[in-house]
């Protein structure tokens, strides 16, 4: 096992060869429960006014099927990149409503601050977890105890009895 992914002081990236740091990952992330360690690499490149961060990583996690509630294992993979702008944080207006444009919805860090590659990778892996967690496309879901059609007919909600009687009259 490797030691946890250390945060990076952003000004130190400028001193790295090519202003680039590559981090090989082969460890568990403490916030993410996985069966196997996260394996891959993160590349952080300082480009003056922004960081160019890219990652390729994978792991296997146990998820719970949203249809049948059974646990199943699935591979979670990321192959992504992101620009993180380097700018000083803007002072917040306390108690005032602030309008934010779409172009302002970007990730920023202070130029003299730290970048947390482990946290960034955790966020990318969380985004890669499927929102519809289905163990198998053919999964029928939880089996109902009233599996037979006869049982289902006798267990009809009484509020529908008038409709059932009308249906019976029309079929006769």
* Mean pLDDT value across the chain: 86
Mean pLDDT calculated for residue range 33-51: 96
Asked if residue 150 has pLDDT above 80, the reply is: no
Mean pLDDT calculated for residue range 75-94: 86
- Check residue 103 and give its pLDDT: 63
Asked if residue 148 has pLDDT above 90, the reply is: no
Q: How far apart are CA 66 and CA 63, in angstroms?
A: 9
- Check residue 157 and give its pLDDT: 73
Q: Which of 28-32, 67-71, 94-98 bottoms out in mean pLDDT, i.e. has the lowest?
A: 94-98
* C-alpha angle 114-57-46 in degrees, rounded to nearest 5: 35
Residue 90 to residues 49, 86, 104, 136, Cα–Cα distance (Å)? 16, 12, 11, 47
- Check residue 168 and give its pLDDT: 86
101-133 pLDDT, tens digit each: 666 657 889 999 999 999 999 999 999 999 999
- Check residue 106 and give its pLDDT: 76
Asked if residue 40 has pLDDT above 90, the reply is: yes
- For the entire predicted model, the pTM comes to 0.74
Q: How far apart are CA 33 and CA 59, in angstroms?
A: 10
Of the chain, the percentage scoring pLDDT greater than 70 comes to 82
Q: How many angstroms from the chain centroid is the CA of residue 58?
A: 13
Mean pLDDT calculated for residue range 5-10: 93
């Amino acid at each position: 096992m490797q030691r946890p992914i250390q945060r990076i002081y952003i000004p130190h990236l400028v001193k790295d060869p090519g202003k680039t740091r590559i981090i090989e990952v082969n460890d568990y992330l403490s916030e993410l429960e996985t069966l196997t360690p996260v394996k891959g690499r993160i590349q952080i490149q300082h480009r003056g006014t922004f960081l160019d961060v890219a990652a390729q990583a994978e792991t296997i996690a146990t998820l719970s099927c949203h249809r049948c509630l059974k646990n199943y294992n699935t591979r979670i993979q990321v192959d992504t990149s992101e620009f993180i702008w380097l700018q000083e944080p803007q002072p917040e207006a306390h108690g005032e409503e602030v309008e934010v444009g779409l172009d302002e919805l970007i990730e920023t860090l202070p130029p003299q601050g730290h970048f947390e590659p482990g946290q960034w990778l955790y966020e990318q892996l969380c985004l890669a977890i499927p929102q519809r967690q289905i163990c198998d496309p053919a999964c029928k879901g939880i089996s109902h105890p009233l599996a037979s059609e006869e049982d289902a007919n006798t267990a009809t909600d009484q509020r529908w009895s008038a409709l059932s009687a009308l249906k019976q009259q029309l079929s006769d």
